Amino acid sequence: MSESLFSLQGSVAVVTGGARGIGKAAARALAQHGAGLLLVDRLEAELASTAAELAEAGAAVDTLLADVTADDIGERVRAAATAAGPVTVVVNAAGVMVRSAITELTVTELDTLWRVNVRGTVEVTQALLPQLIERGYGKIINVGSLGSVRGLERRTGYATTKGAVAQYTISLASEAGAYGIRANVVAPGYVATDMASPWIYGDADRTERLRARIPLGQFATPADLAGTFVFLAAPASDYVTGQILLVDGGWTTT
């Protein structure tokens, strides 16, 4: 029984930002539980490397080299997903970060953040919703942040977009449940990814200040989030929707 709760056999998962970081960790974990993959990313070399690595481990992997801000991203993702197989899981992990003091944040920076973090998430989801609705079942997992629920130092623009991702997901869940679709947010704390590590480790005093705030006493790695994606993608979470699941080592308890 426990194995069937976490089995993804027969599923295809579309993972944006799947070439590295959190997206790659999610893709690897889903594949280990039986899902086929369609990885979407704009990083050509890293996308090819990740696909080869996962295929060598036995996963069925298709790729789409694309930027989620492209005008035709919906059409391209829809076509690639149709070719890959019956999609039941969508993971929107593509994201960007801009750090600016509140007095220095520009509209141009906010536009960049919005196009990737919010518009990209919405467009990919909207493109795949008809397939999920037709099947009468699906799991949408959007990557938020501590910034979905808390203020972030020098990341007001980023937090604004991650708050929007959370609210979009909650609202999506309220409508999509009628079609058998669940939608949830994975909201990581401080994760040592290529994007976040320069901030986490760039100043010794800041590193220790951040670490001291985490009850578990350590920063996460992308692999620390893997089980959360499996849970939300698998039948084990079929009665979970519209939730923001914080994976933060206890940051929000302090």
pLDDT score of 2 more than 70: no
pLDDT, one tens digit per residue, over 170-199 is: 999 999 999 999 999 999 999 999 888 988
**What are the Cα distances from residue 14, in Å, to 7, 18, 61, 77, 218?**
17, 9, 10, 9, 30
Active site residue 239: no
Give the SS3 label for residue 183. strand
Q: What is the pTM of this model?
A: 0.96
Q: Which of 137, 158, 168, 179 is catalytic?
A: 158
Mean pLDDT of the chain: 96
Q: Residue 163 and residue 147: Cα distance in Å, rounded? A: 6
Q: Would you call 104 exposed, middle or buried from its count of C-beta atoms within 10 A (0-12, 13-18, 19+)? A: exposed
pLDDT, one tens digit per residue, over 213-238 is: 999 999 999 999 999 999 999 999 99
Q: For residue 172, how far is the Cα from the chain centroid? A: 16
What domains lie within the chain, and their CATH numbers? 2-188+221-246 (3.40.50.720)
Q: Residue 218 and residue 180: Cα distance in Å, rounded? A: 37
